[in-house]
A and B are shown apart, each in its own frame.
Chain A
Amino acid sequence: MRRWRPTRIRPGWPFLVLAILLPLLVQNPFLHRLLAVAALEAVLAVSLNLVLGYGGLISLGHAGFYGIGAYVTALLALHLGAPFLVTLPVAALAAAITGWIFARPILHLRGHYFAMATLALGEILVLVAYNWDAVTRGPSGLPGIPRAELFGWVATTHRDNYYLGLALLVLAIVVIRRFVDSPFGLSLIATRGDDQAAASIGTDVAGVRTMAFALAAFFAGAAGALYAHYITFVSVEPFQLTHTIALLAMVAVGGIATIPGPIVGAVLLTLLPEVLRGLADLRMVLYGVLLMLVIWLRPQGLLGQGRLFAGWRGRPPASLVPQRVSAEPNAEERRTQPSPREEAGAR
């Protein structure tokens, strides 16, 4: 597949080397902890971007899949003594299967109906985890999850866990990029603009969307498994709507429908509250203002490509690869005057 689109995205080898070296050069456990968290957030943002950026579907339940991964891992490890090499794939598959089952009936929904359905799913998952005391210990959470272990090596320190997260991130990037570049990915991008038009040229709209949704859930679940082994404690807070909203912000700030964008967004928005910590009460005010400011200055995100945006707003693009950089008016609009939104934007 990359044979016929060889130059689209070059691997970020220098960044990977930097990411590997950084914690070796800076010996600070607190920085290592932040990096470990940022790596997991990046996996979540990259996987959410598959649905949001390439699929054009707003999912408000992504943190729920992260939660499935974490809880499945915790329960397997605590009750069955399952090792990391078992919990990781099982947790990822559990999230993917949940995503797949859930996606089938709702993927014909559009826009806000889809967003609402995913919000409802996320809330249900959290409420079940919070109230099903017999299994999840409810608000008490599940403490005492063992550290991740690979062939005798135990991921004890933050740096160990950071490297695990980084490995998962690299895997997620490789797989998701392959998916996006494959015919499935092209179909997915086609459904983003206009699912009916995509269907009319023979795309299995529900099929590719289900696949993307399940794949995104798979990586979120895997991230959940790492989280559980890393923090050694699982309770519902990290899996709530507010986390999904933070993930949406990461994708949008970094650059939607790009591979590096969500990673940059995840790193920045994970570090930002720590950097602002000195401001105490005002730090979240500034966080919100900075979020608005970034979007205001670069609506497509820091690394966003205008090109990939065309058609994202649900206006059917004239072709699959639109020529203009800004939002592309559809064929019908082009015959008439620019719409009020373009008018305002032009000023």
Chain B
Amino acid sequence: MNIVRSRLLALVLAAAFILVGCDIGGLAGAGGDQIKIAVVGPMSGDAATYGQDFVRGAQMAAEKINAAGGVDGKEIVIEQFDDRNDTTETANIAQRIGSDSSILASMGHFTSSTVYAAMPIYKANGLPLVVISASDPKITQQGNEWVFRVSPTNDLGAQATADLLVQQLGLTRIATFYLNTDFGKSEHQYFVERVQQNGGTIVLDEPYQPDTKDFTSGIIKLKNAGAEAVYLSSYYNDAALLIKQAVASGVQTRWFASAAIISNQFPEVGGEAVEGVITARVAQGENWEAVAAEYRQKYGAEPTPFVIYAYAATQAIAEAARQGGATRDGIRQGLEAIENLDTAIGPLSFDQNRQAIYTEFEFLIVQDGQFKPWTP
């Protein structure tokens, strides 16, 4: 290595470290009169709308709580982080959050896969995580005492829809499509089991890979499967595209889908093809409606359920800090002690696995480009 090159190398390294130094400088500075909560999710990429919902929900709750005097005089501060919906980036960002001592609690990580990647890191750092969307029931069954969940698990909605289809509507020949991920596979499994228990038949059982945009081969199978109804364990993008392409290919059937399709994007991408699609979600009380109304006024759009869950998670964390003290472990203990707390999702209680308890479901249908309540 000649002198010029080694100098260049030294220069490059020095520049890199200075840049990193600057960046880290920005991380320091914990406020004594603040309770900082990290909101993590996909803030970029094609799932970015979910991350945006997380932040909006949390922000709205924080503003409300702060306006009412905060938590024992301490202000709730929301800081957003982008995990890009990627497990490796999630591990990176969870560590960054964990090692920032000014952050007392975290909420988010959109998918079950990213939550799985993040969970051990939160535990190692002793930072409570409140899950607000990932729906694999097994997440809270891992014995990780730092992980709580205020959103419902996917088994409940899938089972409610299976009961609706077979028992109430008498549709017994059912085709299913599912996204081949933790979320899709687990939801699909609960749905199929319940349909079969109810005496229905699964006439098509079709997985698809993430990022699929061409559902041609599955749709041709569907055309010839003789299904009376189709159930999709999908997110809004895949579900809207699949239905749109199927309708364009002349498929006529009744469509049902997981609650994960509830998004303004769903009717936007799907257009007329998704009119009449039915989904199940947890029953919404007055509190839910009040937050939804506030959201509509503020952003001029219908909120997704994730706005409400983020809102409720923020309320739960604030209450936990009040009861257990404004420390990481205090918040964890405070969350465990929560019983019938009045939140955006209604009275919140956790079971022994730190999973919020839900009992009632309601159905929604897409009409005139919007999700509207529907009764069978």
Seen from chain A, the residues whose Cβ lies within 8 Å of a Cβ on chain B are: 9-10, 12, 15, 18, 22, 26, 28-31, 33-34, 37, 130-131, 138-141, 143-144, 158, 231-233, 235, 237-238, 260, 264, 267-268, 271, 274-275, 277, 280-281, 284, 302-303
CB distance from B152 to the nearest CB of A (A): 20
Interface size on B, residues (CB 8 A): 41
Cβ B12 vs Cβ A268 within 8 A = yes
CB distance from A129 to the nearest CB of B (A): 13
Which of A29, A237, A303 contacts B88 (CB under 8 A)? A237
> Known interface pairs A139-B185, A268-B12, A271-B20. Does A37 touch B117 (Cβ–Cβ under 8 Å)?
no
Q: Nearest 4 pairs between A and B by C-beta?
A: A29-B99, A139-B181, A275-B19, A235-B87
Segment 155-194 of B: residues with Cβ below 8 Å from A: 180-182, 185
Seen from chain B, the residues whose Cβ lies within 8 Å of a Cβ on chain A are: 1, 5-6, 8-10, 12-13, 16-17, 19-24, 27, 43-44, 82, 86-88, 91-92, 95-96, 99-100, 112-113, 116-117, 119-120, 180-182, 185, 209-210
Cβ B180 vs Cβ A139 within 8 A = yes
How far apart are the CA atoms of A235 and B85 in the complex, in Å?
13
How far apart are the CA atoms of A238 and B91 in the complex, in Å?
12
> Known interface pairs A139-B185, A140-B182, A268-B12. Does A233 touch B23 (Cβ–Cβ under 8 Å)?
no
Chain A residues near B12: list those with CB within 8 A: 264, 268, 302
How far apart are the CA atoms of A232 and B24 in the complex, in Å?
25
Cβ A9 vs Cβ B1 within 8 A = yes
Residue contacts A-B, CB under 8 angstroms, 16 given: A15-B13, A33-B99, A139-B181, A140-B112, A231-B88, A232-B120, A233-B116, A233-B117, A235-B87, A235-B117, A237-B87, A260-B9, A271-B19, A275-B23, A277-B23, A303-B8
CB distance from B222 to the nearest CB of A (A): 22
How far apart are the CA atoms of A146 and B176 in the complex, in Å?
38
Cβ B180 vs Cβ A34 within 8 A = no
> Known interface pairs A10-B1, A260-B1, A280-B43. Does A303 touch B9 (Cβ–Cβ under 8 Å)?
yes
How far apart are the CA atoms of A271 and B13 in the complex, in Å?
11
How far apart are the CA atoms of A157 and B181 in the complex, in Å?
30
How far apart are the CA atoms of A144 and B117 in the complex, in Å?
10
Chain A residues near B6: list those with CB within 8 A: 12
Cβ B180 vs Cβ A30 within 8 A = no
Cβ B23 vs Cβ A141 within 8 A = no
Chain B residues near A33: list those with CB within 8 A: 92, 95-96, 99
CB distance from A250 to the nearest CB of B (A): 13
Chain B residues near A277: list those with CB within 8 A: 23
How far apart are the CA atoms of A30 and B25 in the complex, in Å?
11
